[in-house]
Amino acid sequence: MTQTFAVSVEREGRWWVFEIPELGTGGQAASLDEVDREAQGVAAMWLNVDPAEVAVTVDVRAPKQLLDEWAQAEKDEAEARRAQARAAERRRAVVTALRNEKYSAPDVGRVLGISKQRVYQIEKAKAKASA
């Protein structure tokens, strides 16, 4: 039966230092990729079992202000996607309105400062959105 242990790890100098709180022990690894294997080995040695009988889940800790900045960037990116979708919908609405007024695709393009090919792309995108 495999035992699973929670491992927390953070960077200290040039090493990744990990703790296995449940066992009251830990260790270090030269790279983050090595932490799982090293922690599994330490836990197995601590319990005097085969490493195959031990599994670990690793929680990587980083400076809070940097993680907060990353989370804010993700929120900003999500808002930008929503704004871009709103802008695209508004553009489709304008192209549709002009075409409903019997403007040709080249005329719509000239009025809006885009190519007639772009007008057709916008119309095609509207057709996909409706489907």
pLDDT reported for residue 99? 96
- Backbone phi, then psi, for 58, in 5-degree steps? -105, 130
Mean pLDDT (the chain) is 95
Question: pLDDT digit string (tens) for 66-124?
Answer: 999 999 999 999 999 999 999 999 999 999 999 999 999 999 999 999 999 999 999 99
Question: pLDDT digit string (tens) for 2-21?
Answer: 999 999 999 999 999 999 99
Specify whether the CB–CB gap between 2 and 44 falls below 8 A: no
User: Which of 126, 127, 105, 125 is closest to 115 using CA atoms?
Assistant: 105
Q: What is the pTM of this model?
A: 0.65
Residue 61 tokens, joined: 């800790």
Is the same domain home to 84 and 34? no
pLDDT reported for residue 131? 63
User: Which of 25, 46, 28 is closest to 38 using CA atoms?
Assistant: 28
7 vs 128, more confident: 7
Q: Which of 35, 61, 87 is the last residue of a domain?
A: 61
Is the same domain home to 70 and 125? yes
- Structural domains in the chain (count): 2
pLDDT reported for residue 129? 65
pLDDT reported for residue 93? 96
The torsion defined by the Cα of 46, 49, 53 and 59, in degrees rounded to 10, comes to 10
Is the same domain home to 80 and 110? yes
Q: Which domain holds residue 111?
A: 65-130
- pLDDT higher than 90, residue 127: no
pLDDT reported for residue 102? 96
- In the chain, alpha helices (H): 32-47, 64-100, 105-112, 116-130
What pLDDT band is residue 125 in, cutting at 50, 70 and 90? confident
Question: Which is it for strands 54-60 and 25-29: parallel, antiparallel or unpaired?
Answer: unpaired
Residue reference for tokens 């995108």? 125
**Separation of alpha carbons 46 and 35, rounded Å:** 16
